[in-house]
Amino acid sequence: MPLTKPRVALLAFVLSLLMLGSTSLYVYWVVQRQLSLEGRSLCSTSALRVDVTPATAVRLVHEIGGDARAFVDLDDFGIVRAFVAAHPESFDYPHPLGSQTKPLAAHSAVAGNRVGATTIGGSQFVLFGFERFSLVGRLGMGSESLLDRSVLIADEEVFARSGVGGTVVIDGARAVRRLREIAPDVRVAPMAAGASDRTNVDVISPVLIRLGVVGEFLGSVVAGAPMARFVAPWVRSCIVLGVSWRRVLLQVVGTLLMCCLAALAVVLLPVMRVSGRDVAALAPALAVCMVFAASFCVSSKAALPW
């Protein structure tokens, strides 16, 4: 075995710390993004008020594609809104941390904690007018959410026939740029007041996240080099003794893979619990493994015959 048991344990421990750091950074990013959406009534800082009819907005959203989405008020208070998106299932609406959510689909709705639901045949529905919509999740990050009385209905027909009195908002990072290309004559106005309307979530959090990503990358690179020094003497000894380099490679890779799997197992349970079983939360952990393994292999290269 290339490493003694204490060194294998040390390697797994270092990987666990790096993975926990990367997944925690991912969860922090998700929470900050949802807090920003919650504070702006589900709109991002790039959202625009557009001077078009709801039916035209539906057509524009599908022409834009990607992350394009649109909202329109269905009442005079902005509490009940209709929602349409090029890919509604990809809209990560604010929801309680750690809870599992179902994606928005046609003729479905999400509602705040204080909005009553009707149970029919074991399923929950939100009633609006003479129609009912399947309740797929709850809006808001906590019990005292700004969205605890809000209702968001995902239905193109409801959106299109909502009338011309409501404010139509088109959102999405790429959608705003594409809107100007597709419909340059449409009058638009920003939802936010400008720099004075920004909060710590909009200004400080992105900086912290970028610094965290850089720190994780450098940490993975730096940690791989000293760990490789533990293996190099063993590799040289094996080569001197005439052991096949393929066998040496398999043992080194096997040890590294075992440590990665052990570290991933340590990270898996808490991350899945906090993120509501969001599999994407494991992507940063796997990225850390790849960077660490690359650093490990490059640092060991001098001792290997290839």
**Which residue among 191, 218, 247 closes a domain?**
191
Domain count, the chain: 2
Same domain for 102 and 11, yes or no, is: no
Final residue before a domain boundary, out of 136, 170, 191: 191
**Shared domain check, 56 and 151:** yes
Does 184 share its domain with 206?
A: no
Report the pLDDT value the prediction gives residue 195, as an integer from 0 to 100: 43
DSSP 169: E
Co-location of 148 and 210 in the same domain: no
Contacts of residue 144, Cβ cutoff 8 Å, sequence gap at least 6:
none
182 contacts 63 by C-beta, under 8 angstroms? yes
Amino acid sitting at position 201: V
Residue 83, domain member (yes or no): yes
- Look at residue 36 and tell me if it is in a domain: no
Pair (163, 249) in one structural domain = no
Residue 258 within a domain: yes
pLDDT of residue 152: 92
Collapsing DSSP states into helix, strand and coil, what is residue 250?
helix
Q: Are residues 266 and 151 in the same domain?
A: no
The pLDDT, as a whole number, for residue 196 is 44
Let me know if residue 196 belongs to a domain: no
Check if the beta carbon of residue 38 is closer than 8 Å to that of residue 146: yes
| pTM of this structure | 0.76
Q: Given the DSSP bridges, would you call strands 108-112 and 131-139 parallel, antiparallel or unpaired?
A: parallel
| The pLDDT value given to residue 13 | 84
**135 and 206, same domain (yes or no):** no
Q: Within a domain: residue 210?
A: yes
Among 165, 191, 217, identify where a domain stops. 191
> What is the 8-class DSSP label of residue 85?
E
Note whether 145 and 214 are same-domain residues: no
Q: Residues near 24 by Cβ (< 8 Å), separated by ≥ 6?
A: none
Shared-domain flag, residues 45 and 187: yes
Domain identity same for 124 and 52: yes
Tell me the pLDDT tens digit for each residue of 46-60: 888 898 889 999 999
Q: In whole angstroms, give the CA distance from residue 136 to residue 101.
A: 7
Backbone angles phi, psi at 169, to 5 degrees: -125, 130
How far is the C-alpha of 71 from the C-alpha of 179, rounded, in Å?
Answer: 15
Contact residues for 266 (Cβ-Cβ < 8 A; gap 6+): 12, 16, 19, 20
Residue 112 and residue 50 share a domain: yes
- Which residues of the chain fall short of a pLDDT of 70? 1-3, 98-100, 163-166, 192-202, 269, 272-279, 301-306
Domain that holds residue 125: 41-191
171 shares its domain with 83? yes
